[in-house]
Chains A and B, each alone.
Chain A
Amino acid sequence: MISCSWYPTKLLLLNDDIKIRVSSSCNKYSFCHFSKFKKENIRPDGRELGEFRATLLNVGTINTAHGSALVKLGNTTILCGVKGEFAAPPVNEPKKGYLVPNVELPPLCSSQFKVGPPSEQAQVVSQLIDDIVRSSNLINLESLNIAEGVVLSGGESVYFFCVGTGVAPGFACCWGATKLPERGPKALSKLSWVLHCDMICLDYDGNIVDASLIALLAALKNVLLPAVRIDEDTGRAVTSQEGSIPLKLSCQPVATSFVVFDDTILLADPTKEEEGLATGAVTVVVNEEGDICSVHKPGKEGALYLPRKFMTASGDVSRDLRKLDSWLRKHWRVVKDDVPTGAYDLD
């Protein structure tokens, strides 16, 4: 059940430590250590094989962003902030806007990441999230268009804009026409929203794809963009300070990650140690209708095993999917309806 509790000020990190029930002389990260647990069908942190970690969601905590959400999946913590900016729409698709997701794995979140440009893993996860956003049609990019421009005679869509090279405060808007046509509408502005969705990992303990996607979805649900109108005389965009317009999301994709251990055992929601020891991994993204939006399976291990497990409708799979279903339902319930600002405990 979702219990909604309100934390008006002291809110961001609700650190409910998961107690690790390990008292073993064996090295915690070693394979033999895991093998011991394997016999008992239980994992070192006390979870069952298909069990997910406790999830906490905290929506709308960052006031400087247009929308934000913090997700804790066990220890793994992802903070997503969405910031809207103006830009000219893409030349080939003048009716669209942009959604730019990026996942950051800073050296803050784990000792395995170094200062500097994004690590390979961060690039892979960013690309995966971008693919999911595109393939699931998460958001209709046409709804991010503000002013489309006007088609002049000759069927050519014309727009002129002079853009200052430096972006300084007080920079006047020059989107719009430099030369007004003699007939027809005066304004020729072309303007779209760019939604920069930046997901920062604050604590890296495995399974960041799932956490990132939940954070992204919850943050997008939380977005309120300011209203924009184009001044007809000047062609200049005018906005208000406060956000008022929510986004319309067309679906709710939720990712679920598994790792394969010992080629036969499937572990849901792996921790960092489990990810390190596993022989294969797979991420399945499902929308609320149960359609698969994306499957990501890096590496060759378990290449035969996993597709069989996920793609066919054998009894074994349906059992797994049923487990997955209850997890998805839990998350959909949160990300589905309007999510007011506040903290949520999903368990």
Chain B
Amino acid sequence: MQWKRITAVAATVMLAAVACGSPSSNSGTNSGGQGDLGGAQEKATDATAKGPAAEVDGAKKGGTVTVLSDVTPDTFDPTNIYYTDGNQISKLMFRTLTQYRLDGDSHKPVLVPDLAEDLGTKSADGLTWTFKLKKGIKYQDGTEVKAADYAYAIKRSFAHDLYDAGPTYQLQFFKDGDTYKGPYGAGGANYAGVETPDESTLVIKLAKKFDDLPFYVAFPMFTPIPQAKDTQKNYEQRPMSTGPYKVDSYVPGTELKLSKNPSWDPNSDPVRHQYVDAWDFKFAQDTIKAQRQVLASSGPDANALNYSNLDSTLLSEVKDQSQLVKGPSPCTITYPMDTRKIPLEVRKLIAKAYPYDSWRKVAGLNPATDPPASTILPPAVPGFVKYELPGLNGTGKGAEDDAVAAEIKSELGKLGKANFELSWYFSIDDPISTQSSQLRQQVFEKAGFKVKTIGVPKAKLRTYVGNQDAPVNIGKTPTGWCSDWPSGTSWFPVLFRSDAIALGNSIGQLQDKALDAKIDAVSAKTPDEQLKEWTNVDKDILENYLPALPLYYSNTEAPMGKNIGHAINDPTQGLPEFTSIYLKQP
């Protein structure tokens, strides 16, 4: 459940969620500034979509695209991929049961069947899902994809000890998810949760209702994996491709080379194209250097792109705005406070004291890509309704204002909480983290709080802040979250229910039975009914519980080389869409 820009925004986002799935906001390809944050969206699905994907106007074939990436995806094992960039790159190699098609000028994502013939059929009790599978799908070596391979991939995902970075919904929702430990142990071949009655049918059995399953099966872990080829941890070196490209070579942490997959049949694929001949991903580049190279586009760099948000120091070097891919991404970044340790009244005073404006500058946030947030759900998630509680809109001077500071100080005194101690971790060897921490400390101390900051090495920070019982009361992860699919169900039940603490991803460590009940009540409704309900829960949480201060939403603004054609934002991941990119002059 990681966000790709861990290093870039280490100060504010220690550990965020992965993005997957969310219809775009109305902002479309606009920069998504404050003014055009979208409204509520309908969940969009198209169960009848057929291949081939509509041709892109003016697209040419041929050439090699180089991706100069400053971040390094941790894995390309389909079962283990959960970071947004790994997801996006894997789309070139792995086809899954369902996939998102980006429709229209606003590139609105629509869930379509990919390797499945349909979006799944639910049984009356909602606990058995049947997917019809396409026939004649082949791996890159020409061998036929079997129904058993889909079943094996699902079984494989239960070996969470081995694939510990991958998504975990199957452990919570699939039948025997809590007891089955994957196909490798004794009796691993027998798993009751998945059945393949014939070569074109896949049946998934659930332990509890999970109406978002069609969205979940868009994750790369649902790509078919033949048991005979499974080399466990080494599978990412030679994975079996079903998509338009196959892996030529992979050096972990350094380079991934992809070339055309001859067995890919465009007529069966409603989403992907195969315009360029090859992809060359170079990882662990220097951010500024790579982005400057891509912007300058001299020589071979014109065929290059970088998928991180443009560093704000390079803004003045952008000559051609069309070199930036812009659009929304489904994430909100917050400032979480441990509700078990800080009383509600004090949390409200912290909200009043927080120096939003100054912090945004110190943290280097770009107004175009990081618009201030006032809600928990980001605009890119359906069901989002913009509302603002007084003082909670991601902007303001907070206690930098002398009068406000004095007022907070006196109120703290009245509550009997004068010199209330706030404590948090920061990364001692990261200048942005240190400076943000200094700023908060100065302002909170001015407002009458006592502040204890603990500097830890950057490499260890995630271990410290990831501990839900860490001896600090502010800033435990997740500090930010991205949608796993376009619904509030990938937000509120996973972040704010009491059991989220045990799962290690609670924002604010809320333990409130009444709130649990409210969340459960909404979760039990049909997806369409939920759309209108989540925003009430959202408001209720911020108004009555305030486990976190919403800081900003995130948008995409990635630099592209001048020769890159059809560079569009994929709002499901907040990254450029790779499978439809072509070279203007191959």
Q: Do A and B come from one complex?
A: no
Q: Which residues of B are interface residues toward A (Cβ below 8 A)?
A: none
